[in-house]
Structure 1
Amino acid sequence: MNYITILPNLLIVTMPDKVKYFMWLPLGPQKSSLGVSWLFPQSTRDGEKFTEIAAMEKSDLGPVLEEDLFAWSRTQAGLRSRALRRGAVCLPKSR
C-alpha cells in the first residue's frame, strides 16, 4: 500500500487491486466537501466477488471518515479560538 499526498487537497492510496483517492474541495472559509472514488483494474472487476468487495469498500470507509470528521471539526474549532496564538511557529533549537 502506498499513500501519495498532493498538497493541498488530494490523497491517493494505491493497492494491488485498487486505487482510492480523496479530494477535499473548499466551499468557503469554514466549509469544505470531501469526495472519495475508487479505481479498479479490469482483473478486479472481473472477479466473482467484485460487487461484494466494492460494497464492503464503501461501507468500511464510513466509520473511518466519521473519526476523521470529529478530528477535523475539533481542529477547526481550535483554529477559531481566541486563545490560539497567531504568528510564526518557533521551534526549539536542536542541540
Structure 2
Amino acid sequence: HPQSCNSNRLLPILSNQKMNAYLKEISDVCGINKELTFHIARHTFATTITLTNGVPIESVSKMLGHKNLRTTQHYAKVLDRKVSDDMEQLKRILEIKNIEKKKIL
C-alpha cells in the first residue's frame, strides 16, 4: 500500500470513523446483528483472545500500545475463568515441585 510505504508502516492506519464503517460493512455482509466497533474489537482482543489464553498482561499492554499498565488493567478485565486457570496451573507446578522434592529426599 503506497501510504504504508511512505510512512514506513506495515499497514495503513485508518481513522476510527473509517474503521467502524468497515466493521459495519463486514457485519452486514456476515449477517451479524450486533454493533461492531474498533473499541469492541480491541476489548475482545484484550480479554477473549489474549488474557484468557495465558498471554501476560504486560504483553497485552504492549500490544495495545499502552504506556501504563494501569490503562490495560482498566481496559481489559480479567475474567473469572482466567483466575481459575491460573490457579490450576499453579497447583500443577506446586505438585511437580513436591514430587521432585520427595525424589531428592
TM class by shorter chain equals: 0.3 to 0.5
Higher RCO (C-alpha under 8 Å, 6+ residues apart): 2
TM (norm. structure 1) is 0.35
Question: When you count helix as a share of all residues, which structure comes out higher?
Answer: 2
When Rg is computed on C-alpha atoms for both structures, the one with the higher figure is 2
